[in-house]
Amino acid sequence: MEPVISLGNGTAELGGHPVLRGVDLTVHPGEVVALLGANGSGKSTTVRAVVGQVPLTGGELRLFGTPVREFRDWQRIGYVPQRSTAAGGVPATVREIVAAGRLARRGLRPLRRADRAAVDRALAVVGLADRGREPVGSLSGGQHQRALIARALTTEPDLLVMDEPLAGVDLASQQVLADTLDRLAGEGTAVLVVLHELGPLAPLIDRAVILSGGRVERTADRPEQLPDAHPCHPADAVEPSARPQLQPGIL
């Protein structure tokens, strides 16, 4: 089966500094691949390179078998960026933000019934069905993240790329996301997901690719091989009792 993502020896620079130093990554249809590693190891840059936001300076990237330079089927890819503001100051409703995910498929035509149904389904999946008419600015951080996930789901992608989708999302919603990804992967959608903690996604993960210093440090092929306590954050490598205690009210 042809890989959905085939990245060989990928290199990239940001601000004149090498950030990816030869990353190999292959994801097949229906596979869920987790990208792990410490802060600054290159996870976000890798996924941003895959979705065409960071140009590679070397190596080869193929998407659905097509060299990225010739690739035009971007509507096949759903992308949830690292936590960001979907509508910085724009007075959009939750529904409008989620419906923007249909743009790639429908262009600037008005929403058709199938588009509206896809938006309804995505809102329901992330538990925001009753919040559609509210301004996106009224959502909490975790609800906002769920709206971004819904936006990616509305594209009904063949490849779903998510950068830390669990950040700030409560456990119940994490489980809903896990169930959704499980179903999508079962239908053949490939999933590439940056994670700091595996959480409820652990049972779904076919392979974990652990980055360090812009290179693949190692790959774990089965979830049971995954290092439960992999030190993704420098603080995680420290005994809990030795970690600095947060000082509420100081920030």
Binding site for ligand ATP (CB under 6 A): 14-15, 17, 19, 37, 39-45
The minimum distance between CB 80 and ligand ATP, in angstroms, equals 14
**Which residue has tokens 């959905």?**
4
Rounded (5°) CA angle 237-79-8: 70
The minimum distance between CB 191 and ligand ATP, in angstroms, equals 17
Nearer to ligand ATP, 54 or 184 (CB): 54
Nearer to ligand ATP, 14 or 235 (CB): 14
The minimum distance between CB 83 and ligand ATP, in angstroms, equals 10
Nearer to ligand ATP, 19 or 209 (CB): 19
With CA atoms as reference, report the closest residue to 128 among 147, 102, 108: 147
* Residue nearest to ligand ATP as judged by C-beta position: 15
The minimum distance between CB 13 and ligand ATP, in angstroms, equals 8
Backbone angles phi, psi at 122, to 5 degrees: -65, -40
Nearer to ligand ATP, 17 or 113 (CB): 17
Nearer to ligand ATP, 43 or 95 (CB): 43
For residue 168, the Cα-to-chain-centroid distance in whole angstroms is 14
Nearer to ligand ATP, 19 or 193 (CB): 19
The minimum distance between CB 233 and ligand ATP, in angstroms, equals 8
The minimum distance between CB 51 and ligand ATP, in angstroms, equals 13
